Structure 1
């Protein structure tokens, strides 16, 4: 029998699964009734008011009190009253902070005084104190009522304590989930239903065969696939017995199980310069594994390890999220982020700044010593500054210092790394690298305490996070650079060109007779690249770019000059400092 892959069936399967995960179902009719029949309202105010009264209270002079009804209503109004005047992302950040941090409510006390007490909207410490709901066909009035279409109707919306938290758009199997992502993007527009999305923490688009997730403001290209580290969970198999488990089932189970959902909202969603970002699965599992690894001390020190995540997998944000969690778990800890290049130090410091983490950047070896001995809890520094620490014989024996070492394979075996270890003998060292390790570098794993987590370039390509590297050998031997060899090469390159294109190429080819033999090879390679780029890349959809790495600075400049004279492809050259020169220059 052919399985039913219609949107209605997919929606019903999703609701059934979410109910099995503990989300109470509210029908379309009920969700409108809970809003007083107003499609402009998106909160379930009755549920919210009741729940906030249950999970909140305050202590005064040894006695426990509940908040007054007027105070609870004031808190609800504060949440609902966050304005969209400054844009959706500003409003969403304000609401996210209210959900994470709560607010402060002033109460009239029995002795006639007034005092402020903390007040929460979600109880992150006690999962069972929160109520989780799922509803379907959640009709919301658009901001622009001047068009024929007055409403939008997200397929599924999930609520915590009456606050909308997750929006899901579903499509039948024959329709691409890209349509669902585009719909989610569109609905966040100022003429649309931004007053719903100002609360939303997760967005999911799916069809019968695949699912991707993001958060409010996530651009189309950054919607990601979620994969569980150990395959399909046994609990999921128990929840779905009458049909085959789909990619959507896995995504819903992984992202929306009650404990996982609260953990994602609390620790794995952040704002980077007003751009809201949610972790990818490899970041989540790497951090979770790291927290397990460092939880116990042996001889005063915590076990560290190496996180090997390919380039483009978000190492900087992994460090930021890990730092936030370490600071929360180990309140007196000190986090030191170590790099070996000035540009990386600037980049990671800027990332911390953009995500509201106050980090002190060591300007010199002496400044690093001062920061290590002060109350600065997050420090970014270049590894070579530890040489000064060692020379000054500064040793800090603290098992709650965490050292996050970026591109750790490059420095872990040198004197600078030894200086760092000598200065901080009890620190927990966590290495990060995105570079495929050579055989001689494999001992990086052992030096840092073994592998914590791995995410390879093959994994990233499968997830669509990076493009594959495709190689095509193009050999230019010295024997080509005589008259007969040049003729053969010309015939080879021009064999598929039109007569007009051949004449154009012949004009470039004539250059070989006018340049010194030492530069003929550069000319030959340049013309080969020029013609290949025009034919294979320049006309390709999306406008591919290319990178040419040279052995010498002179060659890079010369290639640029040749391409400029051809005038058919635009180029620029970038010359970076030698890593060792850079370290010396930064002292």
Structure 2
């Protein structure tokens, strides 16, 4: 039997050992002669500014400053609208305008993350446990936050499987409370993770509990059976590794508009691997060498592989899509 603190330490170990996240203890960021943050700060601004400088050396410092201000400025009345606005800045770049002399100006983009090189030194991946946030005189402390370049893009809430009142669904309800009481943290959230140490699910700030989905594969080939294997380790290794995490953030999150509201959706594991497999197969069929893709092997579904088909044969295959 694992207690919640042990599940937390296990998760941090998996993040550090397997995915290379740097670890930090929340209270340490508040201490010292030059603390990184105050209780009301959810973005690690010095780390974000340093990342902007690393990624965008061609942009004048004043324009980089303006980009930082745009990121930190909330303009909408609702959490989902603020979240969507930030997602656009994160995935499409921050538009800035600056002088190039002789009375002329230029418009360019400032990037917050180096998506093209996920594991480069330009990106910093930090996992922080016990990160206290104070907002509107309310004090809350999520279990683990994952920061990319100082931005809190993933919130992980953990519960004790041995406690009947503290299961995965209780973790979901805890996150709903956080969204109500410390909404500024979730402006920058890509998705959320809930787990009791065995079962583990991921969803977005607009997902109800039924839409939180397991991530059942690390590589798209082996699918975990939760009757015999813990889902948490598979989710950490399969979803929260640097390459997949940035790929999900950039390409596999959408905002769907209805008459009543905006719904934020993140791809399930089988959708993610199937799409990347389809892209890789299309590139092969067109004789384009392409790049690196995470792919779910067709054998999982009893289908033949295209790996031995010649490049340029114009046969990309078929994708079966399910929710």
- TM-score range with shorter-chain normalisation? 0.7 to 0.9
In structure 1, runs of 5+ residues without a counterpart are 59-65, 234-243, 301-306, 311-399, 401-425, 435-464, 466-587
Q: Which residue does 1:217 correspond to in 2? A: 206
Which residue number corresponds to residue 430 of structure 1?
318
Aligned to 2:278: 290
Q: For the Cα contact (< 8 Å) 1:35–1:43, is it kept in 2?
A: no
The answer to whether 1:130 aligns with 2:123 is: yes
Q: Tell me the distance in 2 between the aligned counterparts of 1:13 and 1:431.
A: 36
CA contact 2:134–2:140 (8 Å) conserved in 1: yes
- Compare the two structures and name the one with the higher helix fraction: 1
Following superposition, the deviation at residue 226 of structure 1 comes to 0.9
| Match of residue 191 from structure 2 | 202
Distance 1:47 1:36, change over 3 A: closer
2:255 is aligned to 271
1:24 to 8, 22, 29: 22
The TM-score normalised by the length of structure 1 is 0.46
d(CA) in 2 for partners of 1:83, 1:139: 24
The Cα of 1:257 is off from its aligned counterpart by 0.3
Report the counterpart of residue 171 of structure 1 in structure 2: 159
> 2 CA distance for matches of 1:297 and 1:209?
40
In the alignment, does 2:90 pair up with 1:103? no
- Distance in 2, matches of 1:215 and 1:159, equals 16
Q: 1:287 to 1:80 in 2, by over 3 A?
A: same
Counterpart position of 1:253 = 237
Partner of 2:110: 119
What are the superposed Cα offsets for residues 202-255 of structure 1, whole Å, 9 maximum, x if unpaired? 20010122111112211111111111132379xxxxxxxxxx973211111111
* Per-residue Cα deviation, 1:357-390 (whole angstroms, up to 9, x for no partner): xxxxxxxxxxxxxxxxxxxxxxxxxxxxxxxxxx
Are 1:35 and 1:41, in contact at CA under 8 Å, matched by a contact in 2? no
Unaligned runs of at least 5 residues, structure 2: 289-297, 302-311
- Give the TM-score, by structure 2 length: 0.80
Higher RCO (CA-CA < 8 Å; seq separation 6+):
2
CA separation in 2, counterparts of 1:207 and 1:263? 26
Distance apart, 1:297 and its partner CA: 3.1
Which residue pairs with 2:45 in the alignment? 45
Does the 8 A contact of 2:129 with 2:142 survive in 1?
yes
Partner of 1:83: 75
Structure 1 segment 79-478 matched on structure 2, within 5 A? 79-85=71-77, 87-109=78-100, 111=102, 113-127=104-118, 128=120, 129-143=122-136, 145=137, 150-174=138-162, 175-189=166-180, 192-228=181-217, 229-231=220-222, 246-273=230-257, 274-297=262-285, 430=318, 432=320
Aligned residues, how many? 288
Task: Name the larger-Rg structure.
Answer: 1
**Shift in alpha-carbon separation, 1:35–1:109, aligned structure 2, 3 A:** farther
